[in-house]
Structure 1
Amino acid sequence: MNKAPIFAAAAVLLSLAACNNKPEEVTSTAPDPQAEALKNAPKVELPPSIETSVSMRCKDNSIVFADFYKGGKQVLVKQTKDGPGTMLKAPEAGQPFVADGGYKITGTAKNATIEIPGKGARDCHG
């Protein structure tokens, strides 16, 4: 009879000892196969946002629409408000914006000289 309480106490201690074991984690998602590549990938730079959208009146009484982007290195120029545009880029902020085909903008959103193929250079202000 003395062995029964000792056996019961041992069973209780043995069941409590199992509580220190961590439970197995079960998940329905597989590990990401690109996790290592994403961890080592270079940071992505977002494209700049529009700083100013202007309609510019030129000395020949024409209107040019331009979206100047933050950072001072890109301008989208359009000849009609909802028409297609041409992206002009500058190598550094403050330098003229250029694009293939003879597009060039020198200046800012307030005052600029705009060269568009077939239209020549025009002084415009916003």
Structure 2
Amino acid sequence: MADPNAEEIEELDPAELPPMRTREASFRCADNSVVYVSFYTNDTQVGVATEQDAIQTILPNEALAAADEATEGDAEEPAEEGGTPRYSGEGYTLVGNSDASSIQFARPGGSLQTCNS
């Protein structure tokens, strides 16, 4: 039996899968606190938590978010590719690559501090 929606389905754009976790790590910061970080594919986002096994706060990549806004509103050109990714949201900021042994991290109301794995 033929699918009655076959033509509509063929015209749809392919689905984009959600990003996958590529690395999970804990980092000890300069103030002796610990941050637990999950890095996702293509540096699209990171998840951060200040307690082990806590629900993570997802921080989008600032450059990708700016590029998405620029394509929607054609306001300004996206940031240059390359360099160290910067993620921020809900007062948190994280600067670092998924394969790095250290990152910079700021909690809400705090400033960036170096954190080592």
Q: Normalising by structure 2, what TM-score?
A: 0.72
- AA aligned opposite 1:71: N
Give the aligned CA root-mean-square deviation in angstroms: 1.8
Equivalent of residue 89 in structure 1, options 46, 60, 68: 60
Gaps of 5+ in 1: 1-28
Which residue in the other structure is 1:111 paired with? 102
Match of 1:50 in 2: 21
What is the CA distance between 1:57 and its match in structure 2?
A: 0.8
Deviations 1:56-87 (A, max 9, x none): 11111111000011211210001112111111
What is the alpha-carbon distance in structure 2 between the residues aligned to residue 66 and residue 117 of structure 1? 16
* Contact 2:91–2:109 (8 Å) recurs in 1: no
1:47 to partner: Cα distance: 1.3
- The structural deviation recorded for 1:34 is 2.2
Amino acid at match of 1:98: S
Are the equivalent residues in 1 in contact too, given 2:23–2:38 (CA < 8 A)? yes
Aligned residues: 96
Say if 2:37 and 2:46, in contact at 8 Å, map to a contact too: yes
Tell me which structure has the larger Cα radius of gyration: 1
Unaligned runs of 5+ in 2: 65-81
1:12-51 matches, within 5 Å, as: 29=1, 31-51=2-22
**Structure ranking higher on relative contact order (CA contacts 8 Å, 6+ apart):** 2
